[in-house]
Amino acid sequence: MPFVHFTMVLLASKDATIHRACFLFETLMVQIEKSIEVLGGKSPLWKQKLRRALVGMKMELREIHEKTFEDFGVMYGTGTLIAPQYKVSAFDDARSSCLGHAERYIKYLKIFHLQYRPQMPTTLSCLNGMSCSPQLLELEQVLHPLTGLVANSVSQNDEVGQYLREGAVNISPRAYWKDHQREWPVLTRLARDLLSIPATGAGTERLFAVAENIYHLYGGHLDEPTM
């Protein structure tokens, strides 16, 4: 099956795709490796050239992959982690070997979650050793009973743990997080932002393909500034 089929299917999808990025890359590499193997024993010169080109492509893709996951792997890893149908199980799949260990992304997910949490009332800041006036503390205790604040804080802190302990759920990310937005409000906000990152540049690929066709078809009829 032509690889472009995978990118076009992703482009047409109206659901989240970032959690597919690693699987997409592995699929492409498998196809290239199979093609290299098939062309290995071929004698025609053009097939030998094609094989050398594929070997070069594989090396370049590996380099691009390493740079991508070095700079943006945190997003792809955590994006895969918050896909309900995968969660931690995705990191046990041989096809997702490019992601690495799940523990790394669980740590990042907790850090992101902490950054997404709304600021807690001053009462909790006082408990953590930050200075506050007695009058302000008394007012906060009246407006927000301490037990309620602590319970809410513990609940919000454990959203990631509760989500991961639930296990994988075979449902689309969009539907899942819509159903759980009241149960895990902070994690839902984080998940929606992460899952909005596209996994493919198929739209850009199509744009360049169209531009190339225009150049070949109308290049002789268009002046340089227009081109």
Residues of the domain holding 67: 3-116+172-221
Residue 120: the pLDDT is: 41
Residue 23: the pLDDT is: 75
167 falls within a domain: no
* Judgement on whether residues 127 and 85 belong to the same structural domain of the protein: no
Measure the CA–CA gap between 122 and 59, rounded to whole angstroms.
Answer: 55
Contacts with 136 (C-beta within 8 Å, 6 or more apart), sequence order: 122
* Judgement on whether residues 28 and 140 belong to the same structural domain of the protein: no
Residue 215 and residue 22 in contact, taking contact as beta carbons nearer than 8 Å: no
Residue 218: the pLDDT is: 66
pLDDT along the chain (227 residues), means of 10: 65 68 78 87 84 88 75 77 87 64 86 77 39 49 48 62 91 91 92 77 57 66 64
* Judgement on whether residues 92 and 72 belong to the same structural domain of the protein: yes
145 falls within a domain: yes
